[in-house]
Amino acid sequence: MSIFKTKALLLAISIFVLFSCSDDDDNICTDQVIETTGLESEYNCVNTKFEMDIDLTDDFIIITNQTDFNSRVTGECQPDIDFITYDLLIGKEQLTTGNDSIDYVLTEGCETNTYQLEVTFNQNNTLIAPNLTYHRLIPKLPQGREVTVDITID
């Protein structure tokens, strides 16, 4: 084989390899943070972590209609929720110390097509051991979409 044919073959192979490698940077899959709200913001409820109750222990449910909300949730906060726009994720968590605040981050998993709500209880050193109600009004979930809750106690 002549040097010219060898160089041409190497050049052709190099060009083929260069252009056949895909540039996956345009198709990067990243999880997306989804905006949520609460009953305090949307319906002027007050101190829902103490004033609202549901019969659960260290668990959560998703309420999708007003009838279920009215029959399962008790307390001072009893608004007519816009269940066309929202689902209500509500749960209870037994804590060993006092609570200052609760933070929430809802993420849609890009690869899994599932939602994860991170609930962070920001604690203090008081000797109160509350059984708190936490909740988020989340955008209406697509049919069959799974939601998990990850609890962090700080």
Taking only the tens place, the pLDDT of each residue in 29-86 is 899 999 999 999 999 999 999 999 999 999 999 999 999 999 999 999 999 999 999 9
Please return the burial class of 129, using the count of CB atoms within 10 Å of its CB with bins 0-12, 13-18 and 19+: exposed
Predicted confidence (pLDDT) per residue in 91-133, tens digit: 999 999 999 999 999 999 989 889 999 999 999 999 888 999 9
Q: Cα angle at 150 between 146 and 151, to 5 degrees?
A: 145
pLDDT above 70 for 147: yes
pLDDT at 7: 55
Q: State if pTM tops 0.85.
A: no
DSSP 3-state assignment of 134? strand
Query: How many angstroms from the chain centroid is the CA of residue 67?
Result: 24
Residue 96 to residue 90: CA distance in whole angstroms: 20
pLDDT at 27: 73
C-alpha closest to that of 148 among 25, 83, 61: 61
H helices of 21-151, where?
39-43, 48-51, 66-72
pLDDT above 90 for 19: no
More confidently predicted of 125 and 22:
125
Residue 107 to residue 112: CA distance in whole angstroms: 11
pLDDT at 129: 86
Cβ distance 153 to 123 under 8 Å?
Answer: yes
